[in-house]
Structures are given as structure tokens and as C-alpha cells.
Chains A and B, each alone.
Chain A
Amino acid sequence: MTYKFDFAALAPYWETFLRGCWQTISLAAIAVVLGLVIGIVAMLAKRSPIRAVRLFATSYIEVVRNTPFLVQVMFIFFGLPSLGISLSPWTAAILALSLNCGAFAAEIIRGGVEAISKGQVEAGTALGLRTLQIFRFIVLKPALRIIFPALSGQFILALLTTSIVSSISAEELASISQSIDAETFRSFEVYAVATVLYFGLSLIFSTAFKAINRIYFSYPVR
């Protein structure tokens, strides 16, 4: 054992690491929000009466789900410029992540929508609830209750997936670690710190999501 660990060499970079964490969180948050919008549109398109629209939505979802994210990012960042669409690394990263999240979100949302039965809405009307009340208590809340765990899992997954955009040098925790590695040559220590930070982030968010789930979506309904 000749190797000497030197985590002290990384001390001057703590602010840089912190910035990387923040960029990773923002990337994941933007991607999940945009992905939700794309997912809703894709889910609706998949139920469209027009065959071509259905086919388009299905192929989008299947292509994204069955190809590696790395290839998707490379295709968007290096491939699209030859079609005249040049994107900055950050924009390309957001586009790729959102499209990726959208395909997975579409399936999650479909599950939530299919879980609401028509009979419950009719029961609500029979009880004399107003339209807004029906939407809030009978449609929205049960649907959210079903999709929330999957959706929060999707956010954690997005948080971890963002590390792959380092390959197009979009700035986030993984790419920042690579540049710190290039400056300090303490590869193992740098990636150990980065891994711990990622683990911390996913731990914080999964704990928070579990708490939200317990407070807002648990039975009995308040």
C-alpha cells in the first residue's frame, strides 16, 4: 500500500463542488418539469384517434426507452448541428434530459389516469359535488397519489442521469469533478467526493419525497 490519500488537496475546491451540486439539481428539476409536460402531451397523443399521431408518440416513447442516454445526448449535441441546429452544451443537455424524462413520464402518467374510474366521478356528481370539487378530490388527488412515488423515483433517476451530460461538457457535478481531477491529479479522491455528494443528494431528495408522500397522500384522507 504505497498510495497516500490526500483529500486536503480538494479543500480549496469545495465551492466548485457545491456549484456542481446546484447545477445538477437545477438540471434534474428543469428536466423533470419539462419532461412532465412532454409526458402529458405524449400520453394524450398516444390515446389520440388519429393513427399517425399515435404512431409518432409510440415511436418516440419506445426509441427513447430502448436506446442509451449517452447516445441520445451525443446525437443531439454532435449530430443536430449537421442539420443546422447548433445547441450549447447546457441547452443540449436540457433538451436530451427532458426528452428522456418525457418518455418515462408518459408511461407513469398513463398509469395514474387509467386508475380513475368513471364510476367514481359519477358517484361524485350523485353526491352533489361541484365540478371543481370532483376534479380536486376524485380525479387529481387519487391520480397524484398513484403517480407520486414513481414520479419522485423519476426525479432521483434524473439526478443520477445528469452525470452523463458531462460527456458533452455541460457543466454539472460530474464534469466539474473531471476538471478538478485534471487540475489536482487526485482522481480517486475527486470521484469519491463526487460519489458521496451524489449519494447525499439522492438521500436528501428521497427522504423529502417520502415525507411529502406521507403527509399529503396517505390514508385516511384529510
Chain B
Amino acid sequence: MIRLFGSNEVLFILAGIQWTLLLSLIAFTGGGVFGLIIALSRTSTRASLRSIAAGYIDFFQGTPLLMQLFLVFYGMPVFGVKVSPWTAVTIGLTLHASAFLGEIWRGGIQAVPRGQTEAARALGLRYASRMRDIVLPQALRLSVAPTVGFLVQLIKGTSLASIVGFVELSRSAQIVASTTYKPLLAYGLAALLYFVICFPLSRFSLRLEQRFAAKT
């Protein structure tokens, strides 16, 4: 039966936003934690750690996000772990985000002048304190703009969760499109909602970048 494109349909699509946002938030937070580990390994003094982190980053930057999600979704049952689309997508996006954030923050860490590390070492600070108190605060400040830029990319990336079968903004638009036969309206509304979320973030990232460029 063909349904009308009424307020129910609009609300249904709007309800998809919360899953898109939740998914982005979890992936961004989880990706941030793992990303920090990746960034620290990538800049470690141990060559083996460095090359493992580099391989990890290359893999996630050199393959499509869709394939990464499929690999997690179909791969975890292979190792005896049955997962719901929600879990698979969360894990997939978290790993994806960790590689990209790791690479962004590696750049930040390497952009902090060497003298800072050397001075900290001369003061007798250990690695943990050197990183926590001296290098990372400066590195993260350098990386704020690209990090926000990546958040936009991640929010757009969550749309691929719909292909694995998870209902978020894109999937709810698809469902409405196929029940009302008004694809233009359904996808148009979804696009508008993504735009409303992403555009301010993009602007914010650009402003941060310009403010930083003006300072140096």
C-alpha cells in the first residue's frame, strides 16, 4: 500500500538522526581513544611499533569504508562472535576513525618542535609525563581543525551503516522513499538534515584553520 508523505513520515526520518548522531559519537570517542594509541605508536622510538601503526593506517586509508564494515559484519561470526548490525557497524566505524584520527594526530605530534621533547627530557620527565604535559597538549591544539573536519567525514560515513542493515538517517529515508513512492522528498529531506548537521561543523573547522594560519 502506498502511504502518503505526511508528518509521520517526516518524524520517522527525523528519528533516524538520533542513531546517526549516536553512531558518530561512539565511533568518534572510541576512535579517539584508539587513535591516540595509534598516533603514539606511529611516533614511537620503536621501529616495530611504528611500522605496525603505519600498516594499520595504510589499510584503513587504502580500502573503502564499505568493505571495512562488510569485513567486520561477516568476519566476526567467522571467529565465533555473532554480532548485530549495530555492533558490527560501531566496531567498524570505530576502527576506521582510529586510523584516520591516528594519522591526523601523528602529524600534530611531529609538528611540535623537537626542542620541546628535548627540554622535557633534560628536566628529567618520563615518557608519560612528557607526552601528557608537554607534547600532546600542543599537538592536539594543532590538530583541532583537521579533527573537526574528519568528524564531518565520519558523520557522512555513518550513512554506509544503512547498507549493512542498520536503521539510521539514510536507511529511514530509504524506507520512507519505498513506502511513499516519494524518493525525491525523502532523500531531499535526509540530505537537508545531514547538511544541517555537517555544514556548521565544516564552517567551524575552516574558521579554526584560518585562525591558526593567522597566528603563525
Q: Describe B's contact surface by its main secondary structure.
A: helix
A residues less than 8 Å from B62 (CB atoms): 156, 160, 198-199, 202-203, 206
A residues less than 8 Å from B70 (CB atoms): 187, 191, 195
- A163 within 8 A of partner (CB): yes
Number of interface residues of B (CB under 8 A): 40
Cα-based distance from A91 to B2 in the complex (angstroms): 28
- A50 within 8 A of partner (CB): no
Q: Footprint of B on A, CB under 8 Å?
A: 1-3, 5, 62-63, 65-72, 74-75, 78-83, 156, 160-164, 166-167, 174, 187-188, 191-192, 194-195, 198-199, 202-203, 206
B194 to A66, Cβ gap below 8 A? yes
B66 to A164, Cβ gap below 8 A? yes
Q: Which residue of B lies closest to A69 (CB)?
A: B156
B residues less than 8 Å from A187 (CB atoms): 70, 74
Question: 26 A-B residue contacts at CB 8 Å?
Answer: A1-B80, A3-B78, A3-B80, A5-B78, A62-B199, A63-B191, A65-B202, A66-B152, A66-B195, A66-B202, A70-B159, A70-B163, A71-B170, A71-B173, A74-B173, A79-B177, A79-B184, A82-B184, A163-B67, A187-B70, A188-B71, A195-B63, A195-B64, A198-B63, A198-B64, A202-B62
B residues less than 8 Å from A164 (CB atoms): 64, 66, 160
B145 to chain A, nearest CB (A): 15
Q: Footprint of A on B, CB under 8 Å?
A: 59, 62-68, 70-71, 74-75, 77-80, 152, 156-160, 162-163, 170, 173-174, 177, 182-184, 187-188, 190-191, 194-195, 198-199, 202
A191 to B160, Cβ gap below 8 A? no
